[in-house]
Chains A and B, each alone.
Chain A
Amino acid sequence: MSTSVPTLHTIVSLPDQSTATLPKKHYINNEHGLLSWLLTGDHKRIAMLYLISITFFFFIGGAFAGLIRLELLTPQSDLVAADTYNKFFTMHGIIMIFLFLVPSVPATLGNFLIPIMLGAKDLAFPKINLLSWYLYLIGGTLTLAALVLGGVDTGWTFTTPLSTHYLNTHVLTAATAIFIAGFSSIFTGLNFIVTIHRMRAPGMTWFRMPLFVWSNYAASILMVLGTPVLAIAIVLVALERLIGIGVFDPAKGGDPLLFQHLFWFYSHPAVYIMILPGMGVISEVISTFSRKRVFGYTAVAFSSVAIALFGFFVWAHHMFIMGVSNYSALVFSLLTMLVAVPSAIKIFNWAFTLQKGSITFETPMLYAFGFMGLFTIGGLTGVFLGSLGMDIHLTETYFIVAHFHFVMVGGMLMAFLAGIHFWWPKMTGRMYPESLSKLAAVVTFIGFNLTFLPQFILGYLGMPRRYAAYPPEYQVLNVLSTAGATVLGVGYMLPLLYLGWSLKYGAIAGNNPWQATGLEWQIQSPPLTENFIETPIVDYEAYDYEWLEKKQREEVTTVG
């Protein structure tokens, strides 16, 4: 930083880091040995353990996606039998949702950053944090066990009575796996809620917290209140299979729809559990790379909580054609329109943050732009689906598949990658190669659109989801989709390679390579085990870029 321009200056390239050095002591070299990692209480180490685990499961889930797309190259079910194909999409769904998306940002970035962002030394319950990771591993192992033993083919939704009465696959193993992984999620959320309420540094009021913390807080409430209902739904399915009591069996007087009510009572808030932390990342990235405070901080903060609250009232929009009453469907459809509003508020606020900002296009920002466009499309198509009349035609078609991949992959996964790239220097002390990372971001964007845009058309034309075979007139679009999936796969492999490379060969990052605000950027990279040498006192607002700019100007003028 060598200019002394009196106006807001733009960073067009990264600050000079040639003199930056790795700190002598940090949380990675603080202790040595495998046990010091496996028995750690340090939230940062647990975050890295999670990062490795979820990356592993992401690629397994991705492999299943590849197999699905491979089968769908041709109209006939010729690669595999239909039953096997059912196993592909079931395992893809279970792994991607429960073992990747749900823990993705909270368990990695949330675990790492929330204490630091609040000025705390650790989360409230470090041992429970570690337990959370072990429960995740057990859930993951059981899922792999179900896979190896022969797989599950119920679909990730375990719809009754198919899952309880008509299948002989390893439903119980998979259900147990999800039950255990659910507790991992509950404990993470519990830890975050207590930490955010009770461990903020002096002066860190609710409205001075970074929006990333607000988003994770809202997601944590959903985790704690929603996941147990999934747990009981799974237990009832297991008991139904084991003893045949009839709670979901029409022949014995049960109602299969009861399962769906309990299942979706969690699984709809689950989609907000998945997206909210990603939205938090986007708030951070957009403000940093526009050099501007987030427009309408209060609105964005409250919209996170509003999404969490409203998200509990809309679950039956997944059940419109399943036999719920018309009146109930009406009520849930109306409420679904409401839940779109807070998400839209966020998009508007991010757009206004960009306006008149000093925008630069580092990799995290590229992913953030991708998020804004793709999440908007995904969200809008969600509104179409929430409308009762349209849903009756579009449900269970590829339109739904495209909708949720737009929000989950185009939205959440891009946000996750944005966050990983944004905080990689903080977590590892290293920079990744910028041109390669930009290339990966662009490749991902292109691959994503090529994969999933055709699926909107396919769904609209009537191609059902979860089918291995389809009428020949749908083939062209399916081939396009598979081609896109190949490109997308390349786009996701690249970060694995260059991020791994950067651990040894990347440029040293220094404390604050992005010149961002936030407590995490004021400490060394990688941080000390105890995060702060002394407890910080916070007497400034979040995203105080004017203060940062003023500080830099003062710094410069005192040199001369």
Chain B
Amino acid sequence: MAHEIYHDPSNVTNPEHAEHHIVSPLQYCMVFGTLLVGTAITVIAAYIDLGWLNPVIALAIACIKAVIVILFFMHVKYQSKLIKMTVGAGFFTFIVLITMTLSDYISRAWGMW
């Protein structure tokens, strides 16, 4: 066996040779601003009667905020596929919990109590 440096094709230490990207303060400022604006919109929209759209808008804005915090504040945009898949797996399992449990409640006495 050669004793020079072994080139490991399935290099687990840095599989995607991801350069360690440093997110800039400017990007952080833009995210910060967006989050504050999103909060303002959520509050304002809550005081306008939009029927069933109200909770939808509020949750949609919350989801967008969560996504940009995850991608930028938590650096996931610049991380390996493994980390991205891990985040996805977490939310997937959460969705399974919600939807499969809902499958029971939605088919009996939904909102009729």
Contacts and interface: CB of A to CB of B under 8 A. Distances in A.
Interface of A: 197-200, 202-205, 221, 225, 229, 253, 257, 261, 265, 312-313, 315-316, 324-328, 331, 537
A143 to B, nearest CB: 27
Interface string B6-35: 101111110000000000000000000000
B10 A313 contact: no
Given A313-B100, A328-B103, 6 more contacts: A198-B13, A202-B8, A202-B11, A229-B97, A312-B96, A327-B107
B108 A325 contact: yes
Interface residues of B, number: 22
B93 A225 contact: yes
A205 B10 contact: yes
Nearest to B99: A313
B96 A328 contact: no
A265 B97 contact: yes
A203 B10 contact: yes
Contacts of B105: 325
B99 to A, nearest CB: 10
B59 to A, nearest CB: 21
B82 interface: yes
> Which of B12, B97, B104, B105 has the most chain A CB within a 10 Å cutoff?
B104
Contacts of A202: 6, 8, 10-11
Interface of B: 1, 6, 8-13, 82, 89-90, 93, 96-97, 100-101, 103-105, 107-108, 113
B26 to A, nearest CB: 32
A261 B100 CA distance: 9
A328 B6 contact: no
A229 B97 CA distance: 9
Contacts of A315: 100
Given A198-B13, A205-B10, A253-B113, A325 B107 contact: yes
A227 to B, nearest CB: 12
Nearest to A225: B93
Contacts of B8: 202-203, 537
13 contacts: A197-B12, A198-B13, A199-B12, A202-B8, A202-B10, A203-B8, A261-B101, A265-B101, A313-B100, A324-B104, A326-B107, A327-B107, A328-B107
Contacts of A312: 93, 96
Contacts of A313: 96, 100
